[in-house]
Structure 1
Amino acid sequence: MSIEKHDASVPHTGVGSDLAEEPIGNPGLPAHTWRPTDVDDGAAKRAERQVAAMFVGAMVCSVLFVVVYFTAEIGDNQDVFLGLGASNLGLGLTLGGALLLIGVGVIQWARKLMADHELVEMRHPAKSSEEDVATTVAALSAGAEESGIGRRPLIRNTMIGALGMLGLPAVVALRDLGPTPGDALYSTIWSEGMRVARDVLGTPIKVSDMEIGDLINGQPMAIFEVDEEGEPLVEGVELYVAKSKASVVLVRMEPDEITPGEGRENWSVDGILCYSKICTHVGCPISLYEQQTHHLLCPCHQSTFDLADSARVVFGPAARALPQLPLAVDDEGYLIAQSDFTEPVGPSFWERG
């Protein structure tokens, strides 16, 4: 469908115009030439089958994307085709083919089967009148009718199928975002008897190492441990995940300044408390400590927690207190965890009670 806009000062006669009286004359435009599909039902049927075949081909490409995704090997033993990684090549060709066939099919449909007549739209004021609005709505309705989508169910159904199948590659590719969390958000690497170590250094912390007013960034000793050959027991992505959830801050204050929460009377050791370092608002790391008030400030959005009172929120957008790690001391005087955190660390999520 071609739509032409002209000044009233330029002569033109529009074929198919609904104007009762033309304000301008015909400048000598050639007569409209009808397409073969406009005058030959056989040609129209062939074009319809061509468009439908392209949409079906797009569906096949979407299915092949899924097949390649699950069958082609990647990594150290990846399949190679034409000197390229078979997985990337196959995924690119199949997804590209699906998109290309849908695009070409729609273009072919518009060029050969949708209505083909010329319209003239005279210039009008910027603000449309109510009559123009009604006319435009009617024209859009007519355009939908002229597209033939209602009269050509083969094209309509195959196009819907092609677009629907195109969702398969997107859904399958979501798998590469990583494994589903399961219950991983509810627990950390902390366990009963695990020593608390200084972050970065990895040295265990004794009660005697801390003085009143001190704050130390800590990690579970397990992430620093190595096997008999000197290889880390936790490394790679697993290490970063463990550290991101298990990071803690330890503070020491006068024991009589602590207001323990219910059931937490024995969670501190000689005034030493341990809390998650991850803000419960959006997960920023916290370590800005004010000794006199025992307040811990998050630098991102200024949530403030009172560490002397179970890290309850005293200011800011955080809705939950920082989870507290119950502490004890082993036979050698090192600080250890009594257990893992008793609640999930970090920001809230849907399933968190």
Structure 2
Amino acid sequence: MSSDIEERTPAGDPIADPGLPAHQYRPQDVDPAQEKRTERQIAGMFGIATLLLIGFCVAYFTIGQDQLIVIPGTNWSALNFTLGITLAGALLLIGIGIIQWAKKLMGDHEMIEMRHPAASSVEDRTATMTAVNDGIEESGIGRRPLIRNSLLGALGAMGLPAIVMLRDMGPLPGDTLAHTVWEPGMRVVNDVSGQPLRPSDIEVGQLVNGQPAIFYETDDDGHAVMHGHDVLNAKAKAAVILVRMRPEDITPAEGRENWGIDGILCYSKICTHVGCPISLWEQQTHHLLCPCHQSTFDLADNGKVVFGPAYRPLPQLPLAVDDEGYLIAVSDFPEIVGPSYSFLDRDQKRLDEENAS
């Protein structure tokens, strides 16, 4: 305990005894067994906090994003609940441990601090540093390696959740962005109703938002390998727009002459600048405008950029019609879908080589 109140006599000299009560010793000050017990309790808090932080990382990788904790009247995400409980518990225990250390084991002798001019003298600065060093000594951080090391371990483990959560900021180096779930024969469906589309469903000048007709993906044995959350991510990346214009207005690039059906063309809905969804369609000019940064693509001319910061043309999906008259994909996008980054040039080159072979 410290006091910043200074009592002075009329002459300005400090009072020898300002009237502070007698110092009250704590149980830990007079009982070595109690001191050791408190030290172990604090170290235990730091140790449990470390385990909770490790549990945070384990839960992140082992609990599925679609798993639920069912409670009458509501459902909670098992992953979010576990991450919240472990991280909050670790922070709480570290905070309680530090408070208990300060209240029960660090020095608590009362001090009287004399007021002094704003510009401290050399002697005062020296005395301050001496007091700081004395405080460090009284904290016992050098004499209590159990508490010190357990605290350092808990604080060090605090970095683990940060590293784990950084994983959600994007794909790991080496992850490919070159492919989507589109494959030969996959139907194009309306992204609202989920109904497959026929050429007759789209009028000249109309834009329709579409997506691949997938619900989950299975392996060779018929077991699901793509579940709810992954399906939503896959559909988001593979989202498309279909536009219909007069065939004579279209200028297809070499090799793309048969990519459309009666003037119906299909392009990625994801802007190649920073990945915003696009659907602002100017039917008279055949231009598609991105609402984020005004990148503009000419869909009658292979999705090339005519304005704005986008660097690459909008990827086009080749279309065909199946036996029942529904629009289907001939293949995946031959170009990379998504924002333009420097490393995509390397992936695009590899993709071009795969398509050529």
- What TM-score results when the alignment is normalised by the length of structure 1? 0.66
Amino acid at match of 1:151: R
Q: Which residue of 2 aligns with 1:205?
A: 198
Q: Does structure 2 conserve the Cα–Cα contact (< 8 Å) formed by 1:215 and 1:289?
A: yes
Partner secondary structure for residue 185 of structure 2: coil
Cα shift readout 1:200-235 (whole Å, capped 9, x = no counterpart): 3514322x66554332333335569xxxxxxxxx99
Q: Does structure 2 conserve the Cα–Cα contact (< 8 Å) formed by 1:253 and 1:271?
A: yes
Instruction: Report 1:143-162 matches (<5 A).
Output: 143-162=135-154
2:43 aligned residue (52, 60, 64): 52
Matched, 1:3 2:2: yes
1:323 aligned residue (305, 312, 315): 315
1:293 aligned residue (285, 289, 308): 285
Distance 1:34 1:77 in 2: 49
Distance 1:315 1:134 in 2: 64
Q: Does structure 1 conserve the Cα–Cα contact (< 8 Å) formed by 2:196 and 2:326?
A: no
Q: Does structure 1 conserve the Cα–Cα contact (< 8 Å) formed by 2:278 and 2:289?
A: yes
Cα shift readout 1:136-184 (whole Å, capped 9, x = no counterpart): 983555533442223332221122223445667x48996998xx89968
Distance 1:90 1:324 in 2: 42
Count of aligned positions:
321
**Stretch of structure 1 that moved more, 99-108 or 321-330:** 99-108
Per the alignment, do residues 307 and 102 of structure 1 end up closer, same or farther by CA in structure 2, a change over 3 Å counting?
same
Q: Does structure 2 conserve the Cα–Cα contact (< 8 Å) formed by 1:197 and 1:205?
A: no
Q: Which residue of 1 aligns with 2:21?
A: 30
Distance 2:214 2:101 in 1: 64
Amino acid at match of 1:29: L
Distance 2:60 2:278 in 1: 41
Q: Which residue of 2 aligns with 1:230?
A: none
CA drift at 1:340: 1.0
CA drift at 1:93: 8.2
Partner secondary structure for residue 334 of structure 2: coil
Amino acid at match of 2:206: D
Matched, 1:276 2:268: yes
Q: Does structure 1 conserve the Cα–Cα contact (< 8 Å) formed by 2:271 and 2:314?
A: yes
Gaps of 5+ in 1: 13-20, 79-85, 225-233
Partner secondary structure for residue 289 of structure 1: strand
Q: Which residue of 1 aligns with 2:306?
A: 314
Q: Which residue of 2 aligns with 1:229?
A: none
Amino acid at match of 2:142: G
Distance 1:88 1:295 in 2: 42
Cα shift readout 1:1-41 (whole Å, capped 9, x = no counterpart): x23323x5x449xxxxxxxx984324322343455655776
Per the alignment, do residues 162 and 341 of structure 1 end up closer, same or farther by CA in structure 2, a change over 3 Å counting?
same
Q: Does structure 2 conserve the Cα–Cα contact (< 8 Å) formed by 1:198 and 1:205?
A: no
Partner secondary structure for residue 267 of structure 1: coil
CA drift at 1:46: 5.3
Q: Does structure 2 conserve the Cα–Cα contact (< 8 Å) formed by 1:11 and 1:27?
A: no
Q: Does structure 1 conserve the Cα–Cα contact (< 8 Å) formed by 2:196 and 2:327?
A: no
CA drift at 1:344: 3.6
Distance 1:5 1:171 in 2: 41
Distance 1:295 1:147 in 2: 70
Instruction: Report 1:55-74 matches (<5 A).
Output: 55-59=46-50
Q: Does structure 1 conserve the Cα–Cα contact (< 8 Å) formed by 2:214 and 2:231?
A: no
Q: Which residue of 1 aligns with 2:349?
A: none
Distance 1:308 1:149 in 2: 72
Q: Which residue of 2 aligns with 1:251?
A: 243
Distance 2:235 2:179 in 1: 12
Distance 1:130 1:320 in 2: 64
Partner secondary structure for residue 235 of structure 2: helix
Amino-acid identity (%): 58
Partner secondary structure for residue 98 of structure 2: helix
Per the alignment, do residues 119 and 265 of structure 1 end up closer, same or farther by CA in structure 2, a change over 3 Å counting?
farther
Gaps of 5+ in 2: 71-77, 217-225, 346-357
Q: Does structure 2 conserve the Cα–Cα contact (< 8 Å) formed by 1:212 and 1:254?
A: yes
Instruction: Report 1:191-270 matches (<5 A).
Output: 191-201=183-193, 202-206=195-199, 210=202, 212-221=204-213, 236-237=228-229, 240-255=232-247, 257-261=249-253, 263-270=255-262
Distance 2:99 2:211 in 1: 60
Task: Give RMSD over aligned pairs.
Answer: 5.0
Q: Does structure 1 conserve the Cα–Cα contact (< 8 Å) formed by 2:67 and 2:79?
A: no
Distance 2:135 2:238 in 1: 61
CA drift at 1:290: 1.1
